[in-house]
Amino acid sequence: MSKRLGFAALSASLALTLAACGGEGAGGSGGAGSSAAAEDLTIGVSMPTQTSERWINDGNSVKQQLEDKGYTVDLQYANDDIPTQSQQIDQMITEGADILVIAAIDGTALSGQLETAASNDIPVISYDRLIRDSANVDFYVSFDNFAVGQAQANALLTGLGIKNEDGSAGSATGPFNIELFAGSLDDNNTHFFFDGAMDVLQPLIDDGTLVVKSGQTDIEQVAILRWQQETAQKRMEDLLTGTYNDGSKVNGVLSPYDGLSRGIITALTNAGYGPTLSSQPNPMAVVTGQDAEIASVKLINDGVQSSTIFKDTRKLAEQAVIAAQAFAEGNQPEANNTDTYDNGVKVVPSYLLPVQTVYKDNIQSVLIDSGYWTADEVAKGQSD
């Protein structure tokens, strides 16, 4: 049977007070007390989907690192289906999970599950995507998501030649036609990515350096439900046949995720762009990305996709494990941000990691030298 931690039910301040006094957290009703041996604890890890490689890497890293510390791990993927994720979490709770690590599909859809978790004294760690509208989110581990959006916009400007990789002014002045894409509106990150990107792009749209020829600049107009590659491809095809049917060209596309980028690149390729960024007379448009998925890293290496944003899922997993460990020991995890991530009910204490922009010329130093991908995998476009 589960050794409930009796911790999540404590208010953060009480928990902090207890921790500061060097005391132990209160034991839950019938629970094992605040500090339990890893061997006695089961951690439920709920990931959104296996269709995107990044979540497979996240799941594997979290599981591996927790098991290395002696925890039992119940890892589930929800196939991007909200009821499936809810059921999986319900089941984790029923089967005695002591701590939950959740990357939500829809950040607003898990209040019921979190309510049950709280009443069973199960701490909840929100993984990468903030769970919204619930007081029962105990900690958040993620990257600096606003900075991701800014980095994507800067990578777009770099690809167009308006900026250099080091941030200094480039030689190109435009005007350039661009189009904007955003992720799934039910993912809290989508808004941070888009706001971060627009923080950089809006002044250049305002001064005419960048022209969003479709006129579609609202997040609702450019969002792609469930981050689906096919939906992004379809939207890009519609833009090409609708907006660019007068002989004009799209020079750049802000894409927030590699899967979407590949859909966008397919649409562009089918319309005669490329195959590469240096092809003449009709070069591939500058397309950004996120996650350093292996298929996209190959495209970057081949000069087709312009950039991606690397988020080291091994380090994120490590932070989730550190947070889980703190809860297991009856402590509050250490936050490095306590004011950005308001989930609608409370500001969730967070640990945010930095990100890196990857272009063709730093694949080696950022991705290969760090052991994230091998040179062979990059050449093949497939993980081993």
Under the rule (CB under 6 A), what is the footprint of ligand BGC?
52, 54, 128-129, 183, 187, 189, 227, 257, 290-291, 311
- Between 44 and 183, name the residue whose CB sits nearer to ligand BGC: 183
Min dist CB 226 to ligand BGC, Å, is 9
Nearest Cα residue to 224 out of 268, 270, 256, 269: 256
Q: What is the number of the residue whose Cβ is closest to ligand BGC?
A: 257
Q: Which two tokens stand for residue 183?
A: 């992720």
Pick 17 or 50: Cβ nearer ligand BGC: 50
HEC profile for 78-95?
CCCCHHHHHHHHHHHHHC
Shortest distance in whole angstroms from residue 350 CB to ligand BGC: 13
Nearer to ligand BGC, 63 or 311 (CB): 311
The least distance separating ligand BGC from the CB of residue 54, rounded to whole angstroms, comes to 6
Residue 49: CB minimum distance to ligand BGC, A: 7
The amino acid present at 46, given as its one-letter code, is S
Residue 183 Cβ, how far from ligand BGC at the closest point, in Å?
6
Could you tell me if 355 and 311 are in contact, meaning their C-beta atoms sit under 8 angstroms apart? yes
Q: Which is nearer to ligand BGC, 48 or 333 (CB)?
A: 48
How many residues in total does the chain contain?
384
Phi-psi region of 64 (alpha: psi -120 to 50; beta: other; left: phi over 0): alpha
Which residue, 176 or 257, is less far from ligand BGC as judged by CB? 257
Nearer to ligand BGC, 146 or 257 (CB): 257
Q: Is 30 exposed, middle or buried (0-12, 13-18, 19+ CB in 10 A)?
A: exposed
Least separation in angstroms between residue 383's CB and ligand BGC is 16
Q: Which amino acid is at 188?
A: N
Q: What is the spatial distance between Cα 152 and Cα 307, in angstroms, rounded to a whole number?
A: 8
Task: Tell me the C-alpha distance between 106 and 267, whole Å.
Answer: 28
